[in-house]
Amino acid sequence: MTTDTHDESYDPFAEFDAAAGIGAVRDPYPVWARLREQTPVWAGSMADEFGVASMEEALYTQTPYTPLTFAAVQQVLRDGETFSSAGYAESIGLVFGHSILEMDEPEHHAYRGLIQQAFTRKAMETWEEEIVRPVVARHVDAFRDRGRADLVSELLFPFPVTVIAEMIGLPTEELPTFHAKAVELISIAGNIEVGFAASTWLYEYFQGIITQRRADPRHDLISVLAEAELDGQRLTDDEIIAFLRLLLPAGAETTYRSSSNLMFGLLSNPDQLAALRADRSLMPQAIEEGVRWDPPLTGIGRTCTKDTVVEGVRIPAGAPVHVCMAAANRDPSRWDRPDEFDILREQKQHMAFAFGPHMCLGMHLARMETTVAINALLDLPNLRLDPDAEDVHVSGLAFRAPATLPVLFG
């Protein structure tokens, strides 16, 4: 087993939140709306618009472009040939390894076909019954009799990574270290040394488990990936490890943030909370409205491979493209009252799970986990925001979530 040698006073969660603009950028939507009114694709530094530093932008040799309208974002994400994902290899790919995130076709299609074998409907049903429900129940039971809780720190932050750890077969006692390494991994932009150290730690850790599972398969995610085969192709150890590294932030971070944002929306609109409690069949549309209204990840990166035009705006070959799904999700040309949280609004395709070939592989898992967690909270009588809590809100630029959700119940 590898050992941890860096400063124990280092807080990866605080460092990552700071790098993601948590607390520094409270509400980016007015800025995006102003820019979107001027042009469907903004050319220039988005960091400058918010008055924040960006190590990523500092490395650019060309002007970055940011699609902001629904149509512009959809066009970019649909066209993987013109807008390549390969640029991720030079950023977070340095710590993830060669993952599905940076693959273009035809490699992406073949790899996704192998990975999808681990995310079948049957697997979802098994995970829900054997892992997700018990994990959520344990966390809720810990505060059920108290009549008050912070939903972020006591449930919504810890439960998704606990689920992934149990899917992988991780011993419970190793979960805190595992969670910290997952967050350190995606903090490479702020601390490259810590990011590389976490990457190495996770590689060695997963390599040991994969070797065990190839020799003695179990009913867990790593065993399925180790045995997956499609058209004679199998996943190598490096490919499995790259996916597992990606699964940690993609699965745990985004699910915790999306479920927290949804609960903030519901608690801030008690009438909608009551409607959902009374009619649980509204849950699917509530979840979709939550990620439309305030997605956990606001944008993703692409690189323009050839001179092209998006919604009348010319983008030159080689330009970095920041696809702002969050801005697209509040495009007033697509949604009435786009800034309002409304679980009863007409359901339309949104961009929170991306679109096209790279549409989120884990979205069904995220929806299932969120359904279980929110239902458990709705079962708490008279659930409401603590009236004495001050200034509860969502913040962040790249990633968004409330820092705390203090509630009373009973």
Residue 350 burial (10 A CB sphere; 0-12, 13-18, 19+): buried
Which pLDDT score is estimated for 1?
Answer: 33
In angstroms, what is the C-alpha Rg of the chain?
21
Q: What is the pLDDT of residues 178-222, one digit of tens each?
A: 888 887 887 776 678 888 899 999 999 999 999 999 999 988 899
Q: What is the pLDDT of residues 231-271, one digit of tens each?
A: 888 899 999 999 998 887 777 889 999 999 999 999 999 99
∠ CA 392-250-254 to the nearest 5 degrees? Answer: 15
51 forms beta bridges with none
Helix (H, G, I), strand (E, B) or coil at 260: helix
Residues in Cβ contact with 320 at an 8 Å cutoff, skipping those fewer than 6 apart: 60, 62, 64, 65, 87, 301, 302, 303, 304
Which pLDDT score is estimated for 22?
Answer: 63
Which pLDDT score is estimated for 7?
Answer: 46
252: nearest Cα among 349, 148, 168: 168
- Indicate whether 7 belongs to any domain: no
Cβ count near 154 (within 10 Å): 18
48-57, 84-93, 237-246, 303-312: lowest mean pLDDT where? 48-57
Which pLDDT score is estimated for 2?
Answer: 35
Distances (CA, A) of 129 to 251, 280, 333, 368: 18, 18, 41, 11
- Indicate whether 35 belongs to any domain: yes
- Indicate whether 108 belongs to any domain: yes
What's the domain count of the chain? 1
The DSSP output letter for 2 is -
- Indicate whether 301 belongs to any domain: yes
- How far, in Å, CA of 272 to CA of 343, rounded? 7
Q: What is the pLDDT of residues 128-168, one digit of tens each?
A: 999 999 999 999 999 999 999 999 999 999 999 899 989 98
Tell me the Ramachandran region of residue 349: left when phi exceeds 0, alpha when psi lies from -120 to 50, beta otherwise. Answer: beta
CATH value at residue 140 = 1.10.630.10
288: nearest Cα among 364, 399, 395: 364
252: its two tokens = 């745990």
Which pLDDT score is estimated for 114?
Answer: 87
Residue 3 has pLDDT above 50, yes or no: no
- Structure-model confidence comparison of residues 88 and 297, the more confident one: 297
- Indicate whether 293 belongs to any domain: yes
- Indicate whether 48 belongs to any domain: yes
Mean pLDDT across 286-311: 97
- Helix spans in 42-174 (H): 46-50, 55-58, 70-78, 93-96, 107-115, 121-127, 133-141, 151, 158-168
Which pLDDT score is estimated for 191?
Answer: 76
Helices 133-141 and 158-168: crossing angle in degrees, nearest 10, is 140
- Structure-model confidence comparison of residues 405 and 88, the more confident one: 405
Q: Are 291 and 352 in contact (CB under 8 A)?
A: yes
Q: What is the pLDDT of residues 33-74, one digit of tens each?
A: 999 999 999 999 998 899 887 767 767 889 999 999 999 999
DSSP string, 160-224: HHHHHHHHHT--GGGHHHHHHHHHHHTTTTT-HHHHHHHHHHHHHHHHHHHHHHHHS--SSHHHH
Q: What is the pLDDT of residues 331-390, one digit of tens each?
A: 999 999 999 999 999 999 999 999 999 999 889 999 999 999 999 999 999 999 999 999
- Indicate whether 6 belongs to any domain: no
Cβ count near 283 (within 10 Å): 17
Q: What is the pLDDT of residues 271-283, one digit of tens each?
A: 999 999 999 999 9
- Indicate whether 155 belongs to any domain: yes
For 270-282, give one letter per residue: b (16+ CB within 10 A) or e: eebbeebbeeeeb
Domain span at residue 112 reads 12-408
Which pLDDT score is estimated for 287?
Answer: 98
The H or E element that residue 399 is part of is none
Which pLDDT score is estimated for 51?
Answer: 86
Reported confidence tier of residue 230, pLDDT bands at 50, 70, 90: confident
- How far, in Å, CA of 152 to CA of 267, rounded? 13
Question: What are the φ and ψ backbone dihedral angles of 55, each rounded to 5 degrees?
Answer: -65, -35
